[in-house]
Amino acid sequence: MPQVNVEINKRSYRLSCGPGEEEHVIALSRRIDAHASKVGRAATPAAEAQSLVMVALLLADELQEAEAKAETLASQVENLKGSGVGGAPDEQIEEMELAVSEMLDKAAAEIEAVVSNLESVT
């Protein structure tokens, strides 16, 4: 099992992780360390434990906010699916593609007319 060295709050820790997870564990430890530096370096082991509890609370708060945003977005997606406004996304895409195609055809016809007029003038 792979092991990585991480530093949190100016202390090194050797941790085991799954194969291929080394970079992920290091990235997570950096995130924890960033929060630990905001809380402040603890001088005693008891204060360090309290600081790490504070870091855990900060991370839990971030997680809760992210979950709430994800839930809101999921709800919005469900509302859009259920609203029936404009049909299903695939149908909307097909309608947009058709409209763009018609505009391009019209533009091409106008360009051909202009070219035809220019050729007749010259």
- pLDDT (tens digit, 9 = 90+) per residue, 21-40? 999 999 999 999 998 888 88
Res. 86: pLDDT tops 60:
no
- What pLDDT was estimated at residue 82? 67
Res. 87: pLDDT tops 60:
no
The pLDDT-based confidence of 118 (bands split at 50, 70, 90) is: low
At 120, which amino acid appears?
Answer: S
User: Cα torsion at 78, 84, 88, 94 (round to 10°)?
Assistant: -150
- What pLDDT was estimated at residue 42? 67
For residue 84, CA distances in Å to 8, 32, 77 come to 51, 44, 12
Res. 43: pLDDT tops 90:
no
The pLDDT-based confidence of 116 (bands split at 50, 70, 90) is: low
- What pLDDT was estimated at residue 39? 85
- What pLDDT was estimated at residue 120? 60
